[in-house]
Every structure is written in C-alpha cells, then in structure tokens.
Structure 1
Amino acid sequence: MGETLRLALEVVAWGGIGAVVYSYALFPVVLFLVAALHQAGRDAAFVLRKRDRRKALDRVDLDWPHVAVVISAYNEERHLQQRIDNLMALDYPADRLHAYIGSDGSRDGTAAILTGQGDEPRLKAFAFEVNRGKASVLNDLVSRGDEPILVFSDANTFFRPDALKRLVAGFADPGVGGVSGELRLIGAGGDNQDSLYWRVEQFLKFFEARIGALLGANGAIYAIRRSLWKPLRPDTICDDFCVAMNVAAARSRLLYEPRAWAEEETPERIGEEVKRRIRIGIGNFQALVRHPEYLLRTSWATRFAYLSHKVLRWIAPHLLIVAMAASAALAVESTGWRWGLLAQALSYLGAAAALGLTQRGVKLPKVITLAAFLYALNWAFLVASWRYATGRYAGSWARSSR
C-alpha cells in the first residue's frame, strides 16, 4: 500500500469517527462555550450602553392576539376528547382562542368525536373522509382561518394551563417570527432512554436559541406568525422542522420558551420507537435535499448548529461504515488497525445485542441502555436514508404510541 493511500485511509477512518464523536459529545460543549461568550457580550452591552438584554415575557397586560391552534389527527380516539377539553380549559382569553382540528381519514372513532362536539364556537372540527397525509391537512386547516398567530400541536399532547400565554408572549417582540415550547415526556415506568436523550436535546435547544440558532421546533407545542407560513408539500414528513426552519430562512427569530410546556406519553421500550425514528429520519433527509435554503439563507449561527447538531447526526451511521471500511483496508498491513477494527466491530455488536435484550424487556444499566438506544437511532437513520434514496416511503404518516 502506498504512503499516500495509507494516509488518505487514515484520514477517512479517523475523520468519520471524529465527526460522530464531535456531533454527539463535543458539540454540546462547544455550543455551551459559544453561548457563554454570546451572553457575556450581551451583558457587556447592557453595562456599557444600557442596551436591554432581557425580553419582557412575563407581562400580564399584553393585548393577547387571536390564535389558531391547529391539529391534524389520525386514529386518535384514545386521546382526542381529553385533548379538546385541555384546549378549552387553557388560561387564555376565550374569545381569542380557536382550535382547528381535522381527522385525516381516521378509521377509528376520531371523526365521530369531532362531529359530536356540539355548538362549541371555539372549535372548528373537520372530519375529512380521505386520508391525505398530515401536511395536506395542516395546509387545509391553516387556510380556514385568519388568526395572526398559528399554534401547532398534536392530539396526544396536553398543554399546561398557562402554556399558551407563555408561548404567545414571545410575539410581543416584532422581530420574533416563531416560538417553540418544551415537550416533557412521561411514562408509567418513569424515566427511560428516550427521555434521557430528550433531556440532552432540550439542553441543546436552550443554548442554540441563546445564540439565535434554534433548529426547528417541538412539534407538540410551537407557534409562528401567519405571515411567515408557507404551505407544505403534500408528502412532507417533518412538518414541524420545516415550518420552523422556513421562519429561520426568512431571517426571522425563533425563540425557545421552556416555561411553555406540554406533556406526552413516551414508549417504555426502544423497539416501539424504531418505526417512528425511521419515519422522522426519512423526513430529515427529505428536508436536507429539498431545502438548501436552511444552509444558504439562515444566519451563521443556524448554519453552525444545523451542520453540527443535525446533518452530522443524520449521516453518522454512513460515516461509521465508511470509517470501518477504511479501517479494514488499513488492517491488512497494520496490527494496530486490526485492533482498531476489532474494537469497532465489538462495539457495534455489543450495542446490537443490548438492543435485542432491551426489546425483550431485560433491564440493563443506564449506560448500556443508552448505547442500545443510540444504536437503534443510527440504525433508523441508515434505513431511512435508503428508503428516501429509493423513494420507498409512501404511507409514512402512521399512528404510533407517540
């Protein structure tokens, strides 16, 4: 093997592994440091020039705008009535809150629940007979009203009583185009590997928002100005990500308001998440290919976060496969790389075995369970990329436990 080829293979092997380690482990640290420097600059501006560094999000004298809560529901009879009751009980001026809920050709009792709501003037219920997909239903529901603030949520999500006010208060700043709330995952068995991963995601959202680089929104609870709404392509899968990133591409600010929170049940077993992760993964690659403006028209901070937090994670399994192939080529002539190849193989096999055990209900230490969850996540991204590349993702709008 020539020296140039060997060096190239080493760069590929170390580069692939290093990029994945950076995205998962180093980026949170780098983001925290960048956010700390950004906050220090704002504090200095406040001290030296008296420029206010805080936003008045706690005002109670706001002229609360009219809002439209938009929900596309598919086979949600288990949660829907409770969800409607939750919306109608929110601490928000009753004459300024309207809910637009559409059943997307549901095959259970969802449509019957909607049509049986009586004369509630704040609820606009639509029982669509044909299953068109979530994006089409959202487009339809948004077109039915004229409220200046659009709030998006899910049928199996429940808002805290003051969540809507917390969410809408951010729009007191005319430069704000969207506000994302916080989703809290709950389960009968307490904490699980998904919520542990979700807490890390919340950490990243908080500090990305601090530097003006919030990526997407929590689909369970977020809002945008109607003036920034762009109709979605009918087969769009990650609608919440695209709606929010369209706001960022319009150079309007996205806020993260963790005090506006909602709750949602989460599966107790990793296996229940795999199909959902594959669907989301397909949507991720769909957004990456279809929307180059998320990199080309957004701020430097958003581009930095998008590449580090999203793109590198989406292609992480591909990077690891390429790195392993390069390691195998190097192992032909190097004992050190033989050990490196063996370590990679054992790590992946061990994580796969742990995933199999967790799917059978075996309780494992948290570190091993997290490794199994990350393996499942990356497997989902790998499958999703193949299905997107081959166009095999019809019917991706499906009912799941989340």
Structure 2
Amino acid sequence: MAELVFWCAAVLLVHTYFLYPVVLFALDGVAQVLHNVRYMRSGADRRREEQQASELPRVSLVVAAYNEASCIDEKLRNSLALDYPAGRFEVLIGSDGSTDGTDERVLRCTDERVRLSAAPRGGKTSVLNRCIPVAKGDIVLLSDANTMIEPEAVKRLVRHFENPEVGAVCGQLRLYNPTKAEYEESTYWTYESLIKFYEGKRGAVVGANGGLYAIRRSLFNALPPATIVDDFVIPLRILEKGYKVVYEPEAVAHEETTEDYGKEFGRRARIAAGNFQSLRMVPGLISPLSGFPAFAFWSHKLLRWCAPALMALALVANLFLLSSPFYKLTLAGQVLFYGLAYLGKKGLLKGSARRVASVAYYFVTMNLAIVVGFWRFLRNTQRAAWDRTARVPSSS
C-alpha cells in the first residue's frame, strides 16, 4: 500500500509539472504535421492568406482601483497613449472606495475618453459587476492600475475576436524587479507563460492574469459578490460556455514585483483560497465530458492545488519503504530538495547554486501558501476585497 501511495503521488506530481507541458508540446507538433500534410495535398496554406481589413471594434479598458494615487496618473498616461483609434476606445476607472485622492486625480484628467465610476468599498468583484455592463465597448480590456501596457497590445488582442469562436484573449504579463535582475518568480512565471502559450494554441488557456486580458462584453455574467479571483473565474466561465480562450504573446504589459515576501505569501494564499472557491463556479470544467478544456483544468490547476498533499504523501509513504535501496535514494532526493529550499531561504549559497536553491525555496513556499489558502477556504475567512501589494520604489 505504501508503494502504491508513493507512486500515485509521484506520478501525479510529475504529470502536473512536467508531463502535462510535454503533452502540450507533442499535441502542437502533431497539429503542425497534420497541417503540413494538408498543405502538401491541397496547396492551400491558410497561414499565408492575407486577412481582409475590418473595422476595429470598440474597446473599453476597465481598471479596478483602490487607493492607487501613487500610480493612477501614470496608468492614465499609459492608457491614453495606446495605439488604438481614439473614437473607438475608452478608459473606465472603477474606484472601490478609494480614500487617498485616486478619484480626484482621475477627475483632473480632461481627456473625454476617461470616465470615473466611484462607489463605496465593496471589493474588485463589485467594481467589475458595476463597470463591465455599462462599458461602451464590445470588447472589454481588463487591467490593473499598476500594470503598464505596450502601445500595440490592444490591436494585437482584439484581432483574435475576428474569429467568432474566441471569447477571451490573454496577453503576456512581464514581471520585473528594479533591484534584482534575477529573482525566484521570474523563472516560474516564464514556465507558466510557456504553458499558457501552448494551451492558447488549443483555445484552452486556463485562467488569465489580471494585468492584461480581453473578453467579449456580451459573455460577461455578474460574478458572485464573494468571488476572490475574478481574473481566473471570468475566462473559465467563458471556456465553460464553449468559447475559445487564447493567448497572445505579442500583447505585452509590464508589472513590478514586490520585495515584501510576507505580503507576497499572503497574496498567494489569497489566490489559493479563491482557486478552491472557484470550483463551484465552473462545474462544467471538472467533467471529463468537456474534453481538452477539462484535461487542461485538471492537469494545470486541480493537480497543482493538490501538490502539497501529494508531496506530503510521497514523503510519508517513502519512510515505510526504506528496506529497498531504491527508496533510500528517493528519500535522499526529497530530503536534499527540502534542504536546498532551506538554504535558499537563508541565502547561504552563491552563484548558480544560489539561484537553484532560491527557486526550490520559492516552490516550497508557493505550496505552503496553497495549504494556508485551503485552510482559509475551509473556514471561509478569506475576504474578497483586495489590498494593493506594496511595490518597491523605483530608482527613476
């Protein structure tokens, strides 16, 4: 029984972190081969067909803001500088009971494309439920106040909506740290972005990042007031309806990460609590009958959320199997990994070894945050209203 538990836990962990990406790569390779076969037989290559220019859709950029006075002016300048026809673009700032002068700064903007929707504090969900239905655009672009979008991003996102099967498009969020060229989240974020890229080729990106994604306004349904991770639930609901959720790596936005590991851990725990909460909001994606979207949801998300339990099961089961030299090696490997994470926390190594240890520490703390988030979910103690994460002051 211990051996069965060990191998079940190990295989599931390997699947969610390694085999699932390999499956995505393989499926893309097969699809490319089939495309080439069709091309050789028919001579038609759709990739080379020039699309007829069509009128760009109206776009509403919706930004939920809570006490963003330190960055809202820069956000407005960035938004109004985006390369999109002025007559077909608006910026709707939804202030969630801001008390630091955010509203006054927005009102000082004289550009007629900017609108302010202010209301008492109710959480980001209340902002989205209030603002998205009154947005003038057929396409709603969602972004955070501290996220800066590159000029061409909007056009690159909306071009996908020429396909009526596409319901949402996720952009690429690039994180940066003003004091460290290399940091733990950068490695993991690159890995996650690569997975989203290949999921997007199959029209099944499992969740978006709140910094930059677009949806058809007609597909938005009001979220339950207590929703914690709106940027996860909204695209999943669209996917559940049978629409494609794709990824556009050339639509880029930038966001500064934080040095405050305590607040970062709290943010991850909050997201984890929201992830578990989301299960009852998208029941269709849990069913195998949903096809590839369900496979992606299980592989990329559900098993990840179970990773802390699987890691614990693998370690405990391993302790009952030490009569075999092989399982002594597997235990030694696990102990070495956790020891490396500890060294990463203490910063005792240098060079490449330090970077590896730092990534191990990030991985362990990320899974500890899942445990904390699950506990909050069980006790229903995670608030839906968010607090902005403090950013490191830029040298500029």
TM-score, shorter chain, exceeding 0.5: yes
2:272 is matched with: 281
TM-score (structure 1 length as normaliser): 0.89
Deviates more, 1:210-219 or 1:253-262: 210-219
Distance 1:316 1:150 in 2: 34
Q: CA deviation at 1:368?
A: 1.2
Please list the CA deviations of residues 39-95 of structure 1 after superposition, one character each: whole Å capped at 9, or x if unmatched: 222333344345654397x86933011111111011211111100111111111101
Q: CA deviation at 1:114?
A: 2.1
1:24-103 alignment, distance < 5 Å: 24-49=17-42, 53-54=46-47, 61-103=53-95
Q: Does the CA-based 8 Å contact 1:352-1:375 persist in structure 2? A: no
Structure 1 portions without partners, runs of 5+: 1-7
Q: Does the CA-based 8 Å contact 1:67-1:151 persist in structure 2? A: yes
2:285 is matched with: 294
Please list the CA deviations of residues 348-367 of structure 1 after superposition, one character each: whole Å capped at 9, or x if unmatched: 24413422448xx9996221
Deviates more, 1:22-31 or 1:273-282: 22-31
Q: Does the CA-based 8 Å contact 1:281-1:381 persist in structure 2? A: yes
2:372 is matched with: 383
1:138 is matched with: 128
Q: Does the CA-based 8 Å contact 2:288-2:295 persist in structure 1? A: no
Matched, 1:211 2:206: no
TM-score (structure 2 length as normaliser): 0.90
Please list the CA deviations of residues 143-198 of structure 1 after superposition, one character each: whole Å capped at 9, or x if unmatched: 22342111111100111111111111111122211111111112212232211111
Distance 1:232 1:255 in 2: 22
1:2-401 alignment, distance < 5 Å: 8-49=1-42, 53-54=46-47, 61-117=53-109, 119-128=110-119, 130-188=120-178, 189-268=180-259, 270-296=261-287, 299-331=290-322, 337=327, 340-341=330-331, 343-357=333-347, 365-394=354-383, 397-401=386-390
1:5 is matched with: none
CA change 1:77–1:220 in 2 (3 A) is: same
SS in 2 for 1:54: helix
SS in 2 for 1:72: strand
Percent identity reads 38
Q: CA deviation at 1:27?
A: 2.1
Q: Does the CA-based 8 Å contact 2:345-2:358 persist in structure 1? A: yes
Deviates more, 1:39-48 or 1:8-17: 39-48
Q: Does the CA-based 8 Å contact 2:140-2:214 persist in structure 1? A: yes
Report how many aligned residue pairs link the two structures.
Answer: 390
CA change 1:51–1:293 in 2 (3 A) is: farther
AA paired with 1:223? Answer: A
Please list the CA deviations of residues 221-280 of structure 1 after superposition, one character each: whole Å capped at 9, or x if unmatched: 111111111111111121111111111111111221111111111124655521111111
CA change 1:395–1:140 in 2 (3 A) is: closer
Q: Does the CA-based 8 Å contact 2:347-2:354 persist in structure 1? A: no
AA paired with 1:135? Answer: T
Q: CA deviation at 1:295?
A: 2.7
Please list the CA deviations of residues 338-383 of structure 1 after superposition, one character each: whole Å capped at 9, or x if unmatched: 664454345324413422448xx99962211111111111111111
Distance 1:341 1:186 in 2: 36
Distance 1:383 1:182 in 2: 28
Distance 1:115 1:316 in 2: 47
AA paired with 1:262? Answer: A
Please list the CA deviations of residues 301-341 of structure 1 after superposition, one character each: whole Å capped at 9, or x if unmatched: 2222211111111110011112223233445x667656644
Q: Does the CA-based 8 Å contact 1:38-1:211 persist in structure 2? A: no
CA change 1:297–1:21 in 2 (3 A) is: closer
SS in 2 for 1:102: strand
Deviates more, 1:39-48 or 1:81-90: 39-48
1:3 is matched with: none
Distance 2:278 2:37 in 1: 38
AA paired with 2:19? Answer: L
Q: CA deviation at 1:111?
A: 2.3
CA change 1:343–1:259 in 2 (3 A) is: closer
SS in 2 for 1:259: strand
Q: Does the CA-based 8 Å contact 1:214-1:255 persist in structure 2? A: yes
CA change 1:23–1:38 in 2 (3 A) is: same
AA paired with 2:276? Answer: F
CA change 1:227–1:54 in 2 (3 A) is: farther
Q: CA deviation at 1:395?
A: 5.4
Distance 1:51 1:136 in 2: 49
